[in-house]
Structures are given as C-alpha cells and as structure tokens.
Structure 1
Amino acid sequence: MIALDDVRVAIQNVEVLRGFSLRVAPGTLVGLIGRNGAGKTTVMRTVMGHLPLLAGRVTLGGQDLARVPPHRRAALGIGYMPEDRGLVPELTVEENIALPVWVSRELVLRDRLAMVYGILPELLEMRDRKALLLSGGQQKLVALARALAVGTRLLLLDEPFEGVAPALSQRLSEVVGQLRGSGLTVVISQSDLNHSRRLLDEEVVIERGANVTTEAAA
C-alpha cells in the first residue's frame, strides 16, 4: 500500500532520513519504532509532502507521490494524525474533523461523520465545541477522528499515545484495535511498544534516519 524506497530528506541542510526504506502491505498495522529524533515524524511528513525528497521514491498503491502536490494527498485516502494534533483552534470539533473530507470529491461528509462518531461516540457531545476549549487528551481524539474521516486507504498516526493519561491511552488502543481486519493500512510511530505491541502485525525500527531491522510483531 505504502512504500518508501531509499528515501533521503534534509531539514535545514541536515540530512534526517538517510536512505530509509519502508514497505507496508495493504490491510496491515505496522509500528515505526525509534527514539526521539530518530526520524519517525520526518517519515510521515515526507509521505504527506510536507518535506521534499533529496533522493528516493514514495509510492501509494504504486502511484508515485512525487507527482501529487501536498494539498491533494489527503484526497488519495490518506489520514494523518500529527503528534502536535494540528487542529484549527477557532473551528469546532466537527469542523476540524470535516476539514480534509472537504477536499475529496468522492467522500460524503455525512457518511464519514457517522462512521467517525460510531467509532468515537464521546465526540458527539462536544462536536460544537471549539478546539481551543478542549483538553490535550480530547484534542488527540479529535485529531484521530479527523484522520479516520479521510483515511479510507492509509492512516498515519504519529505518536498517538505520547503524553496522554493511561485511560486515554487505553481508549486510543481500543480504537486502533477496531481497525484490525477493516482493510485499512495503518502506520503508528512510537518511541516504545508499551501501548500497542499486541496490535501490530510488524515492527520497523528506525535509528538516525536509517533502517535497523524489520520483524514480525510478537
């Protein structure tokens, strides 16, 4: 579904990804594991087109993403949950969820919202609340919901369990667990595997922007 082949990416003239490769089969849950600064977020931002390639290739279902401008990538069925959540503070919860759906000509907003609220019913009662009034944990849920709304093919979840209370971490694990067998491809970046090892089909370790090892999850 998603493949990065020998990818090199620099930020402010510092090479962050140094020949990194990743191949994720359709319908699988893969953990991208590495310590802080290893390059996990850079991998996801590269897939979304936020960072340009120095070398290598990124494809989605065989389609070369270099030919797709960043603002059109969500419409390909990619849902992205950034580590910093990336919500628009002045928009409501529902408006934040709807944002990427508006760029798709194929998705019906009413149907996508119904799906999201079915998975995360706790968001229904706060759908008219502005994002700036939410707690950090609530904002994480909204960011996940936004990714789910548009991610019909691929979900990129960047450190979803980082900095959240244990109860919310458990809730996020439950939601991710529901995606198993749905046909959706999911890549989860993490600094450790405390929260999701049992959910994963495969673990890919990244260190200093390069591959370390790839192995089946226990």
Structure 2
Amino acid sequence: MLEINNLHVSLGTTQILRGVSLSVPKGAIVGLIGRNGAGKTTTLRAIMGLVKAREGTLSLEGTDLTRTPAHGRTRLGIGYAPEDRRLIPDLSVEENLCVPAWAMGVKDVQPRLEHVYRIIPEAREFGPRRALQLSGGQQKLVAVGRALMSGTRLLMLDEPFEGVAPALSKRIAEVIGQLRGEGLSVILSGADLQHAGAVLDQVYRIDRGQMLN
C-alpha cells in the first residue's frame, strides 16, 4: 500500500528526517514509535504533503506522492488526524466530521458519515454538540472519525492516546482494531503505543530522524 524509501526532510536549515524508510501493507496496522522530537509527526506530515520531501520516494499503491499536492493526497484516500485534533470549536461534531468530504466536493457524504457512525457510534451521539463542549478524549475520538471521512485507503493517527484518560484510550484502541476488517491501512504514532499493542501488525522505531530497525 504505502512505500517510503530514503526520505529526507528539512525544516528551514534543520534536517529533521534522515533516510526514513518504511512499508505499510494493505490492511495492516503499523506503529511508529519514538520520543518527542524523534521525527514521527514530520514523517506523517510528509506523507500528507504538509512538508516537502527533500530527497527520497513516497508512493501509495504505485502513485508517486511526491508529485501529488496535499489536497490531491486526500482525494487518493489518505486521512490524517493530527495530535492537536484541530476540530473547529463552534461547529457541531457532525459538521466537523463532514468538513473533509465537503472540502473534496464528494457526492457520498451521507454514506461516509454513516460508515463513521457505524464504527464510532459515540460520534452520532455527540453529533449535535459543538466540538468545544467535548472532553479532550472525546475530541480525539471525533478526530479519528473525521480522518475516516477521507481516509478510505490509508489512515494516519498522530499520538491518538496522548493526554487521553485510560477508558477512552481503550475505546480508541478498540475503534482502531475494528478497522482491521475494513481493508484499511493504518499508521499510529506515539511515544508509547501500549494501548494499541494488541492490534499492531508491525512496529517501526524512530529516533533523531532515523529509523532504528
């Protein structure tokens, strides 16, 4: 599904990623583990097209992502939930969920929404509430659902368990586990992915912008 080879990324004059390579098979759930500042977020942002690759290749089922703009990558079926969630506070939960589909101009918004509600029934319950009325953990759950609205082939979750109460961390892990039967490839990043240990097919470790395995 996703292949990254010898990826180098610099932010300004600082080199962040140094030859990162990883592979995510179709339908696999892969962990990317590293301490803060190790390069996890930059790797996900490079896949999403939010930072530019200076060197190396990224491909999604044969499509060269380095030649595809960020909005084009979303249209290819890549969904991304950043660590800070980035929900729009004054919009309802349902509106937040629909934003990616509206932005892409897709015609199957309602079926996509129903798909999210099937996997995350809490999101339907939260639907009319404004995003700012949710707890941090609830917002994380909604952010996963929002990423699913566009992530029909590859879903990337950055620090999904960070700052989340144990009960909600367990629930997020359950949701991620459900995706195994959807044929969806998933990348989880975190300093500690113990909550997702049971669902991970493979783990990559990164430190100082380089892979350790």
Would the TM-score normalized by the shorter structure come out above 0.5?
Answer: yes
Equivalent-residue separation in structure 2 for 1:33 and 1:210 (angstroms)? 12
Q: Secondary structure at 2:30's aligned position in 1?
A: strand
| Gaps in structure 2 of 5+ consecutive residues | none
Any idea what the Cα deviations from partners look like across 1:51-97, whole Å, max 9, x if unmatched?
Answer: 01111111111111122111221111111111010112222111111
Residues 1:29 and 2:29 are matched in the alignment: yes
Residues 1:101 and 2:101 are matched in the alignment: yes
Question: Is the 1:4–1:23 contact (alpha carbons within 8 Å) kept by the matching residues of 2?
Answer: yes
Q: Secondary structure at 1:199's aligned position in 2?
A: coil
Distance 1:187 1:21, change over 3 A: same
Q: How big is the alpha-carbon RMSD for the aligned residues of Structure 1 and Structure 2?
A: 1.3
Superposed counterparts of 1:63-78, under 5 Å: 63-78=63-78
Equivalent-residue separation in structure 1 for 2:92 and 2:2 (angstroms)? 32
Question: Is the 1:75–1:103 contact (alpha carbons within 8 Å) kept by the matching residues of 2?
Answer: no
Equivalent-residue separation in structure 1 for 2:193 and 2:132 (angstroms)? 30
Residues 1:193 and 2:190 are matched in the alignment: no
Q: Which residue identity does 2:108 align to in structure 1?
A: V
Superposed counterparts of 1:32-47, under 5 Å: 32-47=32-47
Residue in structure 2 matched with residue 114 of structure 1 by the alignment = 114
* Deviation of 1:107 (Å): 5.5
**Structure-1-length-normalised TM-score:** 0.93
Q: Secondary structure at 1:180's aligned position in 2?
A: helix
Residue in structure 2 matched with residue 127 of structure 1 by the alignment = 127
Q: Which residue identity does 1:170 align to in structure 2?
A: K
Q: Secondary structure at 1:17's aligned position in 2?
A: strand
| Bigger shift: residues 134-143 or 100-109 | 100-109
Residues 1:83 and 2:83 are matched in the alignment: yes
| Gaps in structure 1 of 5+ consecutive residues | 214-218
Question: Is the 1:154–1:184 contact (alpha carbons within 8 Å) kept by the matching residues of 2?
Answer: yes
Residue in structure 1 matched with residue 12 of structure 2 by the alignment = 12
| Bigger shift: residues 131-140 or 75-84 | 131-140
* Deviation of 1:161 (Å): 0.7
Residue in structure 2 matched with residue 184 of structure 1 by the alignment = 184
Question: Is the 1:26–1:185 contact (alpha carbons within 8 Å) kept by the matching residues of 2?
Answer: yes
Any idea what the Cα deviations from partners look like across 1:114-159, whole Å, max 9, x if unmatched?
Answer: 1111111112222122212222111111100001121110000111
Matched residues, percent identical?
Answer: 54
Equivalent-residue separation in structure 2 for 1:193 and 1:156 (angstroms)? 14
| Bigger shift: residues 38-47 or 116-125 | 116-125
Question: Is the 1:75–1:100 contact (alpha carbons within 8 Å) kept by the matching residues of 2?
Answer: no
Equivalent-residue separation in structure 1 for 2:40 and 2:181 (angstroms)? 25
Q: Which residue identity does 1:93 align to in structure 2?
A: V
Residue in structure 2 matched with residue 163 of structure 1 by the alignment = 163
Equivalent-residue separation in structure 2 for 1:42 and 1:209 (angstroms)? 9
* Deviation of 1:46 (Å): 0.5
Question: Is the 1:74–1:103 contact (alpha carbons within 8 Å) kept by the matching residues of 2?
Answer: no
Equivalent-residue separation in structure 2 for 1:142 and 1:181 (angstroms)? 20
User: After TM superposition, what 4+ stretches of structure 1 lie above 3 angstroms from structure 2?
Assistant: 103-107
**Structure-2-length-normalised TM-score:** 0.95
Count the aligned residue pairs.
213
